[in-house]
Chain A
């Protein structure tokens, strides 16, 4: 149990375009989901915390107008990278936590390359 999926697994887009990444909890309801970004050879950096039905909470330094997060249901959160630039190229990983247990379950990640 406790499976989190992400789609797409990789995407290449041109500078200035927008890209949407989906994160789904397949076998549990997640009131809270988290979005992380990981640059090559670096750690996972928390971007935002997404709560179902409310606005996301962004970490300091993360532009909320550039990284749009929607958590419309208990099993789906989306991250839209707007007006993407080459510096947004990264590995984006979502994570979800079911009510109760401490463990956070991670999606397989989405490799974004902006050309």
Chain B
């Protein structure tokens, strides 16, 4: 089955800096790669996603890149703000109908 590795586990940046989180996946059939932000005790919130037929997607300060050959994808947050502080999870899904498999998460801390 699918296995998703995520790095780093913790990331501390200064307000205004950029943050990058990287994930790799094992199943070459995976075709959907979402990123979630989770605050303590809350459900994961989708912040951006990318499908296998696209190499990059951007939404304001957030962007995701996908390299299918290398089987890795990354989340880029620019101009970080203290409210970006949270746990971020990457995920991947293989065949249609199967569940999302999550990485172990990255705790992002943005200090002002």
Binding site for B on A (CB under 8 A): 32, 34, 42-46, 49, 91, 93, 95, 102-104, 106-109, 111
Contacts and interface: CB of A to CB of B under 8 A. Distances in A.
A17 to B, nearest CB: 24
Given A34-B99, A42-B104, A106 B93 contact: no
Interface in B90-104: 93, 97-104
12 contacts: A32-B97, A43-B102, A43-B104, A44-B102, A49-B99, A93-B43, A93-B44, A102-B32, A103-B46, A104-B100, A107-B43, A108-B42
B49 A102 contact: yes
Interface residues of B, number: 20
Interface of B is mostly: loop
Given A43-B103, A46-B101, A103-B34, A108 B93 contact: no
Contacts of A102: 32, 34, 49, 51, 93
A88 B93 CA distance: 26
A107 B45 CA distance: 10
Contacts of B49: 102-103
Contacts of B98: 49
Contacts of B99: 34, 46, 49, 95, 104
Interface in B65-112: 89, 93, 97-105
